[in-house]
Structure 1
Amino acid sequence: MTTKPLAIDDWVPQACTLPTAEQPLRNAEFDHLFATGLLGLDRLAPTRLQLRLDAATEATARDLAARETTCCSFFAFDYAPAADGELLVEVSVPTAHVAVLDALATRAAATARLAA
């Protein structure tokens, strides 16, 4: 099954149950997290993305991820402390939602001004 890549400004999947009016606010919350706390990202597999965040953003990242999984239940977030005050957040999705993870990675890198 081939899916159309999602644009950086349109990464919200059709499966998302967050009301349309609230989606720009959620996007802004992710953008703020990426702009202020994202130190790097690594694509571990097509269905897995690892975000390296400043450990000071852990509460914000956990809260945002918890709320995101209520509307996009296909996301899974796992956390692990890392060296040098960093937090590793692994984001995984089923194969059917790889395009969403691709768009999230692109948006995160662009917002944090990282090389994708």
Structure 2
Amino acid sequence: MSTDDQQWAPTACTLPTAERPLRVAEFDDLFTTALRDQQRPSPTRLRWYLDPAAETVARELTTRESACCSFFTFSFTPDGDTLRLDIEVPDTQVEVLDALAARAAGRVPR
């Protein structure tokens, strides 16, 4: 696991270490196939604009992520021709959100 992956999975995460690379790969796949844009409205909030066709996959993935990292709050909102996904964390988990934003940024289409 890389250092970025370790920042993304803090000690509060209950996902078994062996499963973490698989979860990272699932997020990478979502970024590659569905992420259209991202914004950072505040230090504790990240906003992704996804292809609406990925809603089922994104909801299932974020539900599983919330189960092991309960500090995440994921909210879905239809937004024109995209699906908006807001991700919020407490102040104590901003570093995790930073790592997630950086990972996604490398996959946003230009």
TM-score bracket, normalised by the shorter chain, equals over 0.9
Q: Deviations over 1:46-77 (max 9, x none)?
A: 00010000000000000000000000000000
Gaps of 5+ in 1: 1-6
Aligned pair 1:25/2:13, yes or no? Answer: no
Q: Deviations over 1:18-55 (max 9, x none)?
A: 00000000000000000100000000100001000000
For residue 14 of structure 1, report the CA deviation from its aligned partner.
1.4
Q: Report the structure, 1 or 2, having the larger helix content.
A: 2
Q: Aligned residue for 1:4?
A: none
CA distance in 1, matches of 2:14, 2:4: 19
Determine which of 36, 39, 42 is the counterpart of 2:39.
Answer: 42
For residue 12 of structure 1, report the CA deviation from its aligned partner.
1.3
CA distance in 1, matches of 2:49, 2:5: 22
Paired residue total: 108
RMSD, aligned α-carbons? 1.5
For residue 113 of structure 1, report the CA deviation from its aligned partner.
5.1
Could you tell me the percent identity over the aligned residues?
A: 53
Aligned partner letter, 1:110: G
After TM superposition, the structure 1 stretch with the greater mean CA deviation from structure 2, 25-34 or 10-19, is: 10-19
> Any runs of at least 4 consecutive aligned residues in structure 1 with deviations exceeding 6 A, and if so which?
none
